[in-house]
Amino acid sequence: MRVRQLKDLLAGRLMIAFAIFSSLLVFLIAIALYWRSKPILEAKSLSDLLLGSTWLPFQGEFGFYPFILGTLYVTILAMIFAVPLSILSAIYLAEYAHENLREKVLPLIDLLAGIPPVVYGVFGVLAIVPLVEYIAPVIGKLGIPFLRAESYSTGFSLLAGGIVLAIMVFPIIISISHEVFRAVPSEIRDASLSLGATKWQTIKHAVIRTALPGIAAAIILGFSRAFGETMAVLMVVGNVPSVPKSVFDPAYPMPALIANNYGEMMSIPLYDSALLLAALILMLVILLFTLAARLVLIRIERSMAHG
């Protein structure tokens, strides 16, 4: 009898210890990255690092500006493609689609989520890069801001990165916002419909309005995923460390910077510290975004449970 109780107690304690350990991992990662990026933070001012645009590690120049902008641009571009397509798809799946269709499409979207980044990279190199190379001179002539092609585009560009990333974040935005739409209480729909509103008016004025915070959370989570994605982007974005002026220009996002250079040339002073600072910045930005999005989603979940 005593043995059983003792076992029970010990196992319970052990399980909880595991849980606490795994939740401390976030802090462990942040502390380790901070510890290793401290040398460069002490040697240079933060504003020089973030706003400087010269990247010459051999001469001790570490300006992250082009990389930060590269990351932001490629992510924003991806979101421009992904957000409308994903939200519209999610609305259709949640509100219009027949049970049959939904059960066939959702697994496909899960498949999309399971495809490895390098496979997306290969797809990008084979299909998207040539496409961009082909359309760049045509669209570039029109003289639209951000869509000019000043010089010849090889196709390895912001636009290629944006398109590939967009496909990669479809599943995240769709599956989360689909859940959010499904969580909207049916009373809200019924009330609107009984007042004589059409289905679309109901969705537009009642469902979307109720689901708005959740949609925002889904978008933020998609944004974070795109922001930190490394391999697929690295393979199609060109990796030229200058601020891109057009979507047909190459860019050099921060994850690609880390992947391409970390582990090599560690003998250059401060170089690895600078790269780990890049990792720390990535992590902190994503941490803030994820926290914000999750807090919203937890709220929704709770109101569902109570209401």
Partner 1 sequence: MDKLREEKLFKSLMLASLAIVVGSLFLVIAVVVWNGAPSLSLSMITQTPKGGYYLGKEGGILNAIVGSLYLAFGSMLLAIMISLPVALSLQKDYIGKTKAAYYIRLSLDVLWGTPSIVYGAFGFIVMLYLGMRASLLGGIIVLTLLQLPIMIRAMEEVVKLVPEELKEASYTLGATKLETTLGVVVKQALPGIVTAALLAFGRGIGDAASILFTAGYTDSLPRSLFDPVASLPLAVFFQLGTPFPEVQQRAYASALILLIIVLALSITSRYLSKRFMKNIIR
Return the residues of window 82-101 that contact partner 1 according to CB under 8 A: 84-86, 88-89, 91-93, 96
Cβ-based nearer residue to partner 1, 84 or 137? 84
Please select the residue that binds partner 1; options are 4, 47, 194, 267, rule is CB under 8 A: 4
Distance CA 228, CA 284 (A): 11
Q: Which stretch binds partner 1 (CB under 8 A): 48-56, 143-151, 244-252, 290-298?
A: 290-298
Return the residues of window 22-81 that contact partner 1 according to CB under 8 A: 22-29, 32-33, 35-36
Distance CA 241, CA 63 (A): 10
Cβ-based nearer residue to partner 1, 54 or 284? 284
Return the residues of window 264-283 that contact partner 1 according to CB under 8 A: 275-276, 279, 282-283
Return the residues of window 114-153 that contact partner 1 according to CB under 8 A: 114-123, 125-127
Identify the H or E element spanning 55: strand 55-56
Per the DSSP assignment, residues forming a β-bridge with 14 are none
Per the DSSP assignment, residues forming a β-bridge with 62 are 55
The full length of the chain comes to 307
Q: Which burial class, exposed, middle or buried, applies to 135 when counting CB atoms under 10 A from its CB (0-12, 13-18, 19+)? A: middle
Distance CA 225, CA 117 (A): 12
Cβ-based nearer residue to partner 1, 33 or 206? 33
What backbone torsions phi and psi does residue 21 show, to the nearest 5 degrees?
-60, -45
Are the beta carbons of 297 and 176 closer than 8 angstroms?
A: yes
Return the residues of window 208-267 that contact partner 1 according to CB under 8 A: 221, 224-225, 227-231, 235, 255, 258-259, 262-263
What backbone torsions phi and psi does residue 75 show, to the nearest 5 degrees?
-70, -45
Cβ-based nearer residue to partner 1, 158 or 169? 169
170 is an interface residue for partner 1 by CB under 8 A: yes
Q: Give the shortest CB-44-to-partner 1 separation in angstroms.
A: 19
Are the beta carbons of 246 and 139 closer than 8 angstroms?
A: no
Please select the residue that binds partner 1; options are 72, 105, 135, 188, rule is CB under 8 A: 105
Distance CA 34, CA 29 (A): 9
Return the residues of window 182-211 that contact partner 1 according to CB under 8 A: 198-201
Please select the residue that binds partner 1; options are 49, 68, 77, 109, rule is CB under 8 A: 109
- The DSSP call for residue 139 is H
Cβ-based nearer residue to partner 1, 47 or 98? 98
Cβ count near 7 (within 10 Å): 10
Cβ-based nearer residue to partner 1, 18 or 152? 18
Q: Give the shortest CB-86-to-partner 1 separation in angstroms.
A: 7
- The SS3 of residue 152 is coil
Cβ-based nearer residue to partner 1, 43 or 286? 286
Q: State the number of binding residues for partner 1 (CB under 8 A).
A: 87
